[in-house]
Amino acid sequence: MLNYEYPPLGGGGGIFTRDLAEHFACTGHRVDVITTGSKGLKINETVNNVNIYRVPVMGRSSIHVASLISLLSFPIPSMIRGMILMGKTGYDIINTHFAVPTGPTGYLLSKMYNVPNVLTVHGGDISGPGKEYSPDRNFFFRLAVKHVLMTADAVIAQSTALKKFAEDIYAPARSIDIIPLGIRPMEQRTAAGRGEKGTIRLISVGTMKKVKRFDVLLKAFRSASEVSNNIRLTLVGDGPERGYLENLSEELGIKDLVLFTGWLSGDAKYEHLLTSDIFVLPSLHESFGIVLLEAMASGLPIISTDRGGQRDIIKDRENGLLVPPDDQDKLASAISELCADNALRERIAIVNKKTSESYTIQDVARRYLALFQNIISKKTGINIQS
C-alpha cells in the first residue's frame, strides 16, 4: 500500500488507509505501507501487524498539511524504497492511494515488477476547489493524473461526486469503481450530557484550512447565537487557519461560546462527539467526509453543505439538513431550526445511527479484497482467498 500520508500525518485519506491496512493485516494478509517520514517518527516500524516504511521528503513541517515541495519530493524516495521491498517480497497487489503524488510510484512499480496496481483516488488529487494548488490547474500534474488513471488495473473513487469529477476533468477511457470509506465500529458508549441544562452543543471536526470554511461556520454561529443564547460550538482539529479562526471568534464577540480543542486522538474526539447535540460540516467541498460517518455513528443529527460526496449519504431532511456552500445566512437558519426542534434532532439521530452501520471498515475491506482477487485472477490465473 502506498500513501504519502499515514497517521499521524494527514487527514481522512490517511486514516482510512490505516484502518484498511490494519483490517487486511488482522485477517491474515501481509501488508507493507510506504509513506512520508517526519521528525519524531520511526523510519520503519510495525503497528498492529502493518509494516510501515517512512521515506524522507523536503519541506514537511506540519503533520496536518503537506507543502508543495514535500509532495514533489515524495516520488523518488518512495520509488527507491518500493524497489527494495519489491526485490525482497513477492507481492500480489499494489494499492496506491492518491493519483498524485503517490500515483507515479504505484505505476512504475507495477510496470517494473508486473504486479497489478489498484489506484484509490481521494479528491484533492483530482481537483481542489478552494485550494492554493490543484492538479487540474497544472499541466504536468494534470498529465500525471490522467496517465495513472488510464494505466492502473482498477480505479476506486469513494463517492459518486468524485467519480464524476474524475470523468469530467480527465475523461479516462475506463470505468471507475465506487467503494465508499468506512470507519471502525465504535464501542457501545452512551451519549452523555446532550441537552444538559438546556444548552445545545454544536461540533465540527477537521483540518483547519480554507477549504473547510470554518470561518463561514463561525459567522453563521454568531448569527444563530443572537437568536438562541443557549448554544455553544466546539471545533476539533488543528492546521494553518487555527490562529486566524481564534482571532475571528474574538472579533465576532463569540470567543466565550467557542471551544478550540486542537488535534485530538480518536477516543478523545469521540468523547466530544458523544457529548454534542449537532454536527456541522461547512466545507466548500468534500470527496466523501469520513467525519460524517463518525458523527452519524455517534448518533448526531447533521447539517452539511450539499456539494460533494456527502450527497451519497446525507439526504435533505431525512438524515440531515443540506445547505449551499459559503451561504452564511442559510447555514445560520439551519442551525437555528435544528436547535429549536428537539423532535427533528431525535428523528435524524436515529436514522443516522442506523445508516452508519452500513459503512464499517470490515464491509469496505471485503469489497476491496473482492476487487483485488478479481484482478489477480484475471492477470495471473491464481485465486487469492479474500
CATH code, 309: 3.40.50.2000
Residue 310 DSSP code: G
pLDDT on residue 36: 97
Same domain assignment for residues 316 and 233? yes
Look at residue 370 and tell me if it is in a domain: yes
Among the listed residues 210, 212, 214, the one whose alpha carbon sits nearest the alpha carbon of residue 234: 214
Give the residue carrying C-alpha cell 452539511. 304
CA distance 128 to 233: 27
Same domain assignment for residues 94 and 112? yes
Look at residue 386 and tell me if it is in a domain: no
Residue pair 5/11 in contact (Cβ under 8 Å)? The answer is yes
Same domain assignment for residues 99 and 214? no
CA distance 201 to 262: 17
- Going from the C-alpha of 247 to that of each of 174, 242, 252, 348, the distances in angstroms are 48, 9, 9, 33
Same domain assignment for residues 228 and 281? yes
Same domain assignment for residues 165 and 206? no
Same domain assignment for residues 63 and 143? yes
Same domain assignment for residues 173 and 35? yes
Same domain assignment for residues 56 and 173? yes
Domain count, the chain: 2
Same domain assignment for residues 161 and 215? no
What pLDDT tens digit does each residue of the chain (386 aa) get?
Answer: 999 999 999 888 999 999 999 999 999 999 999 999 999 999 999 999 999 999 999 988 888 788 889 999 999 999 999 999 999 999 999 999 999 999 999 999 999 999 999 999 998 899 866 555 678 888 888 899 999 999 999 999 999 999 999 999 999 888 999 999 999 876 544 555 565 567 999 999 998 989 899 999 999 999 999 988 899 999 999 989 999 999 999 999 999 999 999 988 878 998 999 999 999 999 998 888 889 999 999 999 999 999 888 888 899 998 899 999 999 999 999 999 999 999 999 999 999 999 998 899 999 999 999 999 999 998 777 665 54
Tell me which residue range forms the domain holding 240: 196-356
Look at residue 385 and tell me if it is in a domain: no
Residue pair 178/160 in contact (Cβ under 8 Å)? The answer is yes
Same domain assignment for residues 107 and 46? yes
Q: Which three cell numbers stand for residue 355?
A: 445508516
Same domain assignment for residues 165 and 213? no
Look at residue 189 and tell me if it is in a domain: no
Helix intervals (H) in the chain? 12-26, 68-72, 75-88, 103-113, 139-151, 160-170, 214-227, 242-251, 266-274, 290-297, 328-340, 342-356, 361-380
> What predicted TM-score, i.e. pTM, was given to this entire model?
0.86
Same domain assignment for residues 9 and 144? yes
